[in-house]
Amino acid sequence: MHDITAFVSHEDSSRHDTGWDHPDHQGRLPAIVRAVQRDMVALWEPLRQTEGVPATEDDLLLVHTPAYVDRVREMATDAARAERTLQLDGVPVSGASWDAALAGAGSALTAVEAVLAGEVRNGFALVRPPGRGAAADAAGECSLFNNVAIAARHLRVRRGVERVLVVAWGARQPAALAQVLQEDDGVRLISIHQHPQSFPEPEETAEHPPIDGVALPPGSDGEAFAAALRQVLDAVPADESIDFVLLSAGFCILAADAHGSLAVEPDEVHAITLLLRDWVDARAGGRLVSVLEGGYAASETARAVIQHLRALAGLPPA
């Protein structure tokens, strides 16, 4: 079973209703699922499709404040009662968003547990809403609960994992992820992202801890992205033991994605993922879980995820 890649999802993730004009619309995950089904001749043996176990409130409290968890639940209840989508800190919340958010965080945890148990080599959690933009007490960037941070804290607090490496890639730097993990000395965060000052509305850099990583200029392609990933991985000290790696996988790095200005093509994602997987095999015993974040060009994101899964599973590119 060790050569198997877990593909973890839950049907509730697609019920999060933001409206079809929103970047994180309900068509994102079905597009990926259809792409996986089309590639199932290749993926049948190395991919284990697993239903995620929804997170509990205790899971959420590993990262988020009780008051904020209550706010999300109450907003979803209000949205269901009003039969329309409401806004929480600028993030859409529908009547189904509470269940979707629990399914997303739980799918990440389910993948982590499968890897820890040795049932699979690595895993990918297909989730929405994304998580990396959620602070301990606020929603942000399409995110309600910080799925990767919850998984990291679960590994540290409950499973006694001494050193967790979180690799984040995406158009924007993972400010909220850095905030919620900054107090845990057993977690290292590194990031590859578009330069924060290259956006039409530059990001504020004083609101979060410094983030180790590489800020790429707009137009950077897959080769430049892979070189940046290699650079940040090589910067992890050789004598630093890494016990588990979590990937915050934002596919807003793609050229077709309107929410960033990087220029990675879907076919280039295979080599980028393989670079990370090989490093994890050498430094962390292969223990890697990737969690979907952004990626708002649905068809191109689906193509990229196929390449991502193939690399995780040790298959050649499509």
Mean pLDDT confidence for 284-308: 97
Q: Tell me, what's the pLDDT at 82?
A: 97
Mean pLDDT confidence for 169-178: 95
Q: What is the DSSP string of 51-80?
A: EPPPPPHHHHTTTS-HHHHHHHHHHHHHHH
Closest by alpha carbon to 95, among 114, 81, 111, 116? 81
**Cα separation, 303 vs 296, whole angstroms:** 12
pLDDT per position as a tens digit, 200-256: 665 554 466 788 999 999 999 999 999 999 999 999 999 999 999 999 999 999 999
Name the average pLDDT for the chain: 95
pLDDT per position as a tens digit, 52-72: 999 999 999 999 999 999 999
Q: What is the DSSP string of 258-286?
A: TT----B-GGGHHHHHHHHHHHHHHHSTT
pLDDT per position as a tens digit, 252-279: 999 999 999 999 999 999 999 999 999 9
pLDDT per position as a tens digit, 105-120: 999 999 999 999 999 9
Mean pLDDT confidence for 24-41: 96
Q: Tell me, what's the pLDDT at 260?
A: 92
Closest by alpha carbon to 284, among 248, 240, 315, 250? 240
Q: Tell me, what's the pLDDT at 195?
A: 87
Contacts of 183 (CB under 8 A, 6+ apart): none
Q: Tell me, what's the pLDDT at 206?
A: 45
Mean pLDDT confidence for 278-301: 97
Report the share of the chain in percent with pLDDT over 90: 94
Burial tier of 285 (Cβ tally within 10 Å: 0-12, 13-18, 19+): middle
**Cα separation, 75 vs 71, whole angstroms:** 6
Instruction: Please determine, for residue 1, whether its predicted confidence score (pLDDT) is greater than 50.
Output: no
**Cα separation, 78 vs 114, whole angstroms:** 35
Q: Tell me, what's the pLDDT at 66?
A: 98
Instruction: Please determine, for residue 2, whether its predicted confidence score (pLDDT) is greater than 60.
Output: no
Q: Tell me, what's the pLDDT at 209?
A: 78
